[in-house]
Amino acid sequence: MTEATNASPADRLRTALRTPDGSERVRSAMAAGTYPRREYVPVLVEQCAHEPDFTVRETLTWALTRQDRDTTLALVLPELRSTTPQARRQALHTLSKLGDPRAWPEITSALIHDADPEVAKTAWRAAAGLAPDEAKPALAGELARHFGDEADDVRQSLSRAFVALGPAGQAVVDDAAASPDWDVRVHALATDHLIAHPEDDFEAAVAVARRAAARRDAAGWGDPLQT
């Protein structure tokens, strides 16, 4: 028998995911999700940590959602403590897709305030989706620390997390909308607009927020939503 014939299904998947052809890696991940096996889970998780191609990573996550849930959680959760940012980010993304409430306690403050902005953004989305109702106000308080962060994509991600939180985050959005810091104020007002109009895009919400903040300044901190 050849070495390939003797290889286990997991070893064959690992070999297939090492090919330099991204399309082949997508097909291999698709096959792993279509015909799930418990032994595929560690291979898929391992590949998530270093896979360079976005489309392949998305397919790996999809494949993990098709595997045995307990096995997947057991192997994905430790990745949240990895020293590799991509491993943390992809684990958070996978957990957000799984939607299993058992993952919520593992979405720590350290992840929400991760030094890597891509990890932090993914943590916000995962946390907003997984938090039980009683934890949402405290989560909103944690997220509010990032109002006014510099990068537009970071601001947009934070606003969308507040949209997902819904009424539980409204109080901290209102507090931030009263901030003397222009960037914080505009970001919070844009978030408030998106909560009320989630179909709008972020750029439109920021434009509305800038006008509201300017009216507030002109009125000496009056109601920014008065016309």
Dump pLDDT digits (tens) for 20-58: 999 999 999 999 999 999 999 999 999 999 999 999 999
From 97, 49, 31, 90, select the one nearest 69 (Cα to Cα).
Answer: 97
Reference 73, options 42, 29, 117; nearest CA is 42
Using 50, 70 and 90 to split pLDDT, how confident is the model at 225?
very low
CB neighbours of 202 closer than 8 A, spacing ≥ 6? 152, 155, 156, 159, 160, 190, 194
Give the mean model confidence (pLDDT) for residues 66-79.
Answer: 98
**Side chain identity at residue 141, one-letter code:** G
Element (H, E) at 34: helix 22-34
Joined together, the tokens standing for residue 185 give 């104020």
Structure confidence at residue 221 (pLDDT): 55
Distance CA 182, CA 188 (A): 10
Q: What is the pTM of this model?
A: 0.89
- Whether 223 has a pLDDT exceeding 70, the answer reads no
**Residue 3 confidence (pLDDT) above 70:** no
Q: What is the pLDDT of residue 218?
A: 78
- What is d(CA 52, CA 22) in angstroms, rounded to the nearest whole number? 9
One-letter amino acid at 45 equals V
Alpha-carbon distance of 111 to 222, in angstroms, equals 37
Q: Which pLDDT score, from 0 to 100, does residue 150 have?
A: 82
What is the structure's pLDDT at 4? Answer: 57
Q: What is the pLDDT of residues 107-124, one digit of tens each?
A: 999 999 999 999 999 999
CB 123 within 8 A of CB 90: no
What is the pLDDT confidence band of residue 74, given thresholds at 50, 70 and 90?
Answer: very high
Two tokens, residue 78: 């430790």
Q: Are 16 and 23 in contact (CB under 8 A)?
A: no
pLDDT tops 80 at residue 70: yes
* CA gap 214, 223 in Å, rounded: 11
The band of 216, judged by pLDDT with boundaries at 50, 70 and 90, is: confident
Is the predicted pLDDT of residue 226 greater than 70, yes or no?
Answer: no
Q: What is the mean pLDDT of residues 71-90?
A: 98
Planar angle of CA 211, 217, 219, nearest 5 degrees? 100
187 in Cβ contact with 176 (< 8 Å) = yes
Mean pLDDT of 158-173: 96
Using pLDDT thresholds of 50, 70 and 90, give the confidence band for residue 227.
very low
The confidence score (pLDDT) of residue 211 equals: 94
**Residue 205 C-beta-side C-alpha neighbours within 13 Å:** 24
pLDDT band at 224 (very low <50, low <70, confident <90, very high): very low
Residue 147 is predicted with a pLDDT of 97
* Percent of the chain's residues with pLDDT above 90: 89
What's the mean pLDDT in 92-100? 97
